[in-house]
Amino acid sequence: MAKKKIILAYSGGLDTTCAIPWLKEHGFDEVICFSANLGSEFTPEDLIRRGKATGASKVYVKDLRKELADDYLIRGLKANAVYEDKYVLSTAYGRPLIAKYLVELARKEGIDHVGHGCSAKGNDQVRLDVAVKMLEPELKIVAPLRYWELGSRESEIEYAEKKHLPIKLSKEKIYSIDQNIWGIAIECGALEDLRNEAPEDSYMLSQKLEATPDTPEYIDITFEKGVPTALNGKNMDFSDLLETLNGIAGKHGVGRTDLVEDRIVGIKSREIYEAPGAWTLIHAHKELEAAVLDRETLAFKEVISQKYAQLVYQGLWFTRLRKSLDAFIDKTQEHVTGTIGLKLFRGNILVASRDTEYSLYKMNLATYGDEDAFVRENAEAFIDLYAMPFLEK
Ligand code: ARG
């Protein structure tokens, strides 16, 4: 009889580590792992070693950082997408991309089952499942965490220890972590009690404010049609620029947020995030947009931005609506070209300079100096007409 195989989306974390032996105990002869390198702490060698040591027959690792950056993060940046004011959606962008490659690999290997280690009340199961269903409706999806007896992190750790599975004994015991180049998400442990301030050891990418440098750092970010193309005058590929910025802004304690968020399945959860580079880029991008976009486009784009963030969060990446919003957003970016100077200091991002050939800010209209070209006499007639619709007396 042919061997029953499954392709598992594998991160090397606790859930997917337990999933490998569990799937083999529950009807699968072979578990083939697929790991996307989106910029997490595990190296490809680590992942292959850990996956094999856990019982996978093969471990595919694919470096998808550039694809994540170019096809997902740049769109999110142009949209200024932020969920519930505090989450730049790092994890959420990764899921449809992982789904795309799970489907591709399943087709290539002729396998009709794909699996993942997402929690049964989390968002990621929805994102992965919806994306897989949209791309390949025939594939069967197996999500052990919806059924297995390992109902808590404690019981997973016990199971892993009993089976001598490779888990990292320190932080993995406490926190659940998801990381890519756009940011890092951390939950569980002491974070589950809203009365607790996030313990310092839960952060890993950014400096605590108490230890940030005493002097501010100035940086210049150059955009072309909404896409960052240079840092401090040096042309860089977007994903390299982002990774460099994570280092610079992280050193100044930029980009930490602590959010009680609304999950797709209806519950509220608390997560802390670090996204130094992403917040810096969004800040700079909005500053540039403020200078080059007219007020109606800006205001309408705010609405689109909210909707975009919801779609990404809710796993609706491959939908017609998301693509349509992108078409609108791309049109708005035609003049989003120029350089924004920022000052990073003790967790703050402050704008220092704006330089763009498409500026709608006209100094001769804004100035209170001698060069003033604003026709002051027009103001009275303008206001008469402007107020007219509202006059009830
Ligand atoms: N809450 C975030 C989201 O839904 C992150 C989820 C993963 N977090 C984690 N710590 N493993 O996108």
pLDDT value for 265:
97
What pLDDT digit, counting tens, does each position of 255-303 carry?
A: 999 999 999 999 999 999 999 999 999 999 999 999 999 999 999 999 9
Ligand 1 nearest atom to the CA of residue 177, by list position? 10
What pLDDT digit, counting tens, does each position of 220-237 carry?
A: 999 999 999 999 999 999
Res 42 pLDDT > 90: no
Res 149 pLDDT > 60: yes
355 among known catalytic residues: no
Joined tokens for residue 138: 């025939």
* pLDDT above 70: percentage of residues in the chain: 99
Name the active-site residue from 40, 75, 90, 124: 124
Helix H or strand E segment including 7: strand 5-9
Break the chain into its structural domains and give their ranges. 5-174, 205-256+274-355
Confidence of residue 172 (pLDDT cuts 50, 70, 90): low
Count of alpha carbons within 13 Å of 185, Cβ hemisphere only?
21
- Among 16, 86, 91, 129, which residue has the most ligand 1 atoms within 8 Å of its CB, making it the best to mutate? 91
Confidence of residue 154 (pLDDT cuts 50, 70, 90): confident
pLDDT value for 293:
98
pLDDT value for 151:
87
pLDDT value for 173:
64
Res 89 pLDDT > 60: yes
Count of alpha carbons within 13 Å of 78, Cβ hemisphere only?
26
| CATH number 3.90.1260.10 given to 205-256+274-355 | yes
Res 41 pLDDT > 80: no
Cα torsion for 351, 355, 356, 362, to the nearest 10°? 90
Q: Read out DSSP for 125-184?
A: HHHHHHHHHHH-TT-EEE-GGGT-S--SHHHHHHHHHHTT----SSHHHH-EEEEETTEE
pLDDT value for 174:
81
Average pLDDT over residues 121-127: 97
Confidence of residue 2 (pLDDT cuts 50, 70, 90): confident
Confidence of residue 38 (pLDDT cuts 50, 70, 90): very high
Ligand 1 nearest atom to the CA of residue 90, by list position? 12
Integer angstrom CA distances of residue 280 from 80, 200, 227, 233, 248: 11, 22, 13, 16, 10
Nearest C-alpha neighbor of 54 from the set 7, 22, 102: 22
176 among known catalytic residues: yes
What pLDDT digit, counting tens, does each position of 178-216 carry?
A: 999 999 999 999 999 999 999 999 999 999 999 999 999
Residue 98 alpha carbon to ligand 1 centre in Å: 15
What residues contact residue 272 under an 8 Å CB cut-off, 6+ apart? Answer: 185, 186, 187, 191, 198, 202, 203, 256, 257, 258, 259
For 196-234, give one letter per residue: b (16+ CB within 10 A) or e: eebeeebbebbbeeeebeeeeeebbbbbeebbbbebeee
Confidence of residue 170 (pLDDT cuts 50, 70, 90): low
Residue 192 to residue 194: CA distance in whole angstroms: 6
Q: Read out DSSP for 303-350?
A: HHHHHHHHHHHTT-TTSHHHHHHHHHHHHHGGG--EEEEEEEETTEEE
272 lines ligand 1 (CB under 6 A): no
Confidence of residue 319 (pLDDT cuts 50, 70, 90): very high
Res 119 pLDDT > 90: yes
Res 168 pLDDT > 80: no
- On average, the pLDDT of the chain sits at 96
Return the bridge partners of 269, or none.
261
Query: Would you say 96 and 114 are in contact if contact means Cβ atoms under 8 Å apart?
Result: no
What pLDDT digit, counting tens, does each position of 128-141 carry?
A: 999 999 999 999 99
Ligand 1 nearest atom to the CA of residue 175, by list position? 10
Ligand 1 nearest atom to the CA of residue 91, by list position? 12
Res 163 pLDDT > 80: yes
186 lines ligand 1 (CB under 6 A): yes
Res 1 pLDDT > 80: no
Res 56 pLDDT > 90: yes
State the pTM of this model. 0.96
Average pLDDT over residues 314-324: 98
Residue 366 alpha carbon to ligand 1 centre in Å: 45
Res 40 pLDDT > 90: no
59 lines ligand 1 (CB under 6 A): no
Fold of 5-174: Rossmann fold (3.40.50)
pLDDT value for 240:
96
Average pLDDT over residues 339-366: 98
Look at the alpha carbons of 187, 190, 196, 197 in this order and tell me if their dihedral is positive or negative.
negative
271 lines ligand 1 (CB under 6 A): yes
Average pLDDT over residues 119-127: 96
Res 126 pLDDT > 80: yes
pLDDT value for 169:
61
